[in-house]
Amino acid sequence: MDDFSPAYYIEKHFSQFEPALKEKIISHCTVKNFSAGEILMQTGQYFRSTVLIVEGRVKLYREGTGSEEFFMYYLEPGSACALSIICATRQQTSEVMAKAIEPTTVLMIPIQLMDELMRDYKSWYYFVLDSYRTRFEELLTVVDNIIFKGMDERLEFYLKGQYEKMKTNQLRITHQEIANDLSTSREVVSRLLKKMEQNKKIKLFRNYIEWL
């Protein structure tokens, strides 16, 4: 991870913010780095800050009663955790987990600023609304896939989405990680991936999956 200033990250990923808002965030935020696999947010946790993603990638998911996970969506540079904004503003605890899946850098904005930012800065107000809308649409996609598609279709849709977001045709992810995201077993994922390879849609390697 590169060590840049808040001003650099704001200009790079949040150029739509009005100048006064940029100055406000820069003067009050802190930069924090997370290693791959590190937890940013836990179920039951109270928030002291809301988070803007500026480098890396974060996975949001719900934990089951056992070790199972329910994948919700990813946060990437230029996005914010809408749930953290809601919980921080209302002083509620988190109902989801957030984990860095690669080295990640975030800007942390104190919750004490939330009411002021929403009230005084239109670009922040519209950014928050757009974040809510985007996250809601992503959750609808997840629900639609679970209800209306078979596991083979869900897997192919999932892989296409990963390749598009990562902007590469080589996806470095384990069969177990895919299974966790799709709420199924590793054996099912491995079998369906092999079928996709036989149909010449992908090629399986030891450490990555290549889209053909």
Q: Are residues 10 and 67 in the same domain?
A: yes
Q: Name the domain count of the chain.
A: 2
The most confident of 11-15, 60-64, 111-115, 183-187, by mean pLDDT:
11-15
Write the CA distances from 149 to 152, 185, 197, integer angstroms.
8, 17, 20
| Average pLDDT score over residue span 51-77 | 86
| Domain carrying residue 181 | 150-211
> Which of these, 168, 169, 190, lies nearest to 179 by C-alpha position?
190
Say whether both 91 and 189 belong to one domain: no
* Domain final residue pick, 146, 166, 190: 146
Q: H helices within 14-76, ranges in order?
A: 19-28
31 in any annotated domain: yes
pLDDT for 54 equals 97
Task: Mark whether 59 and 158 lie in a shared domain.
Answer: no
Say if residue 69 is in the same domain as residue 95: yes
Question: What per-residue confidence (pLDDT) applies to 67?
Answer: 67
Residue 52 maps to a domain: yes
Distances (CA, A) of 50 to 102, 107, 110, 119, 167: 20, 8, 7, 16, 27
**pLDDT band for position 70 (cuts 50, 70, 90):** confident
**HSE of 132, CA atoms in CB hemisphere, 13 A:** 9
* pLDDT tens digits, 7-54: 999 999 999 999 999 999 999 999 999 999 999 988 888 878 889 999
37 and 120 together in one domain: yes
Place of tokens 């077993």: 185
| 124 part of a folded domain | yes
Identify the CATH number of the domain in which residue 191 sits.
1.10.10.10
Q: Residue 1 — very low, low, confident or very high, per pLDDT cuts 50/70/90?
A: low
Residue where one domain finishes, among candidates 97, 118, 146: 146
